[in-house]
Structure 1
Amino acid sequence: MYRPTSKHTSVKEAQKQMEHFCAYQERCHQEVFEKLRALRMIPTAIDQIMTHLIQENYLNEERFAKSFARGKFRIKKWGKKRIVQELKQRKISMYNIKGALSEIEEEDYLQTLDELAKKRLSQLTETNIQKRKKKLADYLLYRGWESDLVYAKIQELI
């Protein structure tokens, strides 16, 4: 009896899998597309499944962008520049990126920068003031905080 070496997934099976994939956690279109490509789905099947997921509200780019921005800001303490960069990498539209950034309250944003800077400064053992400033700036810039805010915070703290 002949048995194929790789199991082919039917459109219905793939659709069910993607519904679970999207229901478990917010996903962007790119993630779902890549997952379907990994399942070796043909382009017409991918289009059909993606359309179904969007119509059934399993896949919503705006909701994903807002959730992503809130999560990365609250949990990882990323600045807006890093969030924008990561969303662009996921091919999210500028319209949705702007909407996502509006989820972050300005007061919370500045307070988080202050807490992050103070915490990092207390961890630095460098005695040279210039090197301390550089290390703190590098850390905050890497996390995506705007340079004008970073340098103003460093002037305030050191």
Structure 2
Amino acid sequence: MNSVKTYTVDEAKQKLEHYCSYQERCHNEVVEKLRLMRMIPDAIDLIIVHLLDNNFLNEERFACSFARGKHRIKGWGKIRIVNELKFRSISKYNIDIALKEISPEEYLSNFHKLADNHWQNMKERDTLKKRKKFCDFLLRKGFESNLIYEKVKDLESGK
């Protein structure tokens, strides 16, 4: 017989406290986890309120942590970070606060390191193809097009 584990509200609270303590989570992730645990909507609301009241769930803290981590570890630009946070239903207010976690100096420094490294390691010989691949890579990473096009001009002129 295939029995599905059921949880009391208290068991689910405890499980979700651990889930949120382990790593910052957004509302959507927590709600999805509770749905997978087959909790009813009233229980989900109750548990969410508990997690918020006890500071296990904090959208601003999640957004800030997300922005810092994705920029420093994955090398994402602001456009990609904003889009990913919007996808997770994070408010514009919290997105703006999160972007302040990345100083302009750190942002540009990481951009130039990533761009220089990618340019050096590209095997493409055809100049136009190399330029296109380089720009596409940095656009996918979420950097601003004006930064990218300025950088490609500098690299091609050997600066």
Q: Distance in 2 between matches of 1:96 and 1:149?
A: 25
Output the amino acid matched with 1:92: I
Is 1:147 the counterpart of 2:156? The answer is: no
Q: CA deviation at 1:20?
A: 0.2
Q: CA deviation at 1:111?
A: 1.0
Instruction: Say which is worse superposed, 65-74 or 105-114, in terms of deviation.
Output: 105-114
Q: Deviations over 1:61-108 (max 9, x none)?
A: 000000000000000000000101111111100110010001100011
1:17 maps to what in 2? Answer: 15
1:109 maps to what in 2? Answer: 107
Note the 1:67-146 alignment, pairs <5 A: 67-146=65-144
In structure 2, stretches of 5+ residues that fail to align are none
Give the alignment's TM-score, normalised by structure 1. Answer: 0.96
Q: Distance in 2 between matches of 1:112 and 1:122?
A: 15
Q: Distance in 2 between matches of 1:75 and 1:88?
A: 20
Query: The residue matched to 2:3 in structure 1 has which SS?
Result: coil
Query: The residue matched to 2:55 in structure 1 has which SS?
Result: coil
Q: CA deviation at 1:8?
A: 1.4
2:48 maps to what in 1? Answer: 50
In structure 1, stretches of 5+ residues that fail to align are none
Q: Distance in 2 between matches of 1:39 and 1:79?
A: 35
Q: Deviations over 1:33-60 (max 9, x none)?
A: 0000000000100000000000000000
Q: CA deviation at 1:7?
A: 2.5
Runs of 4+ displaced beyond 3 Å: none
Give the alignment's TM-score, normalised by structure 2. Answer: 0.95
Q: Distance in 2 between matches of 1:97 and 1:8?
A: 36
Query: The residue matched to 1:58 in structure 2 has which SS?
Result: coil
Q: Distance in 2 between matches of 1:119 and 1:105?
A: 21
Q: CA deviation at 1:126?
A: 1.5
Q: Distance in 1 between matches of 2:2 and 2:109?
A: 59
Output the amino acid matched with 1:71: G
Aligned residues: 156
State percent identity of aligned pairs: 54
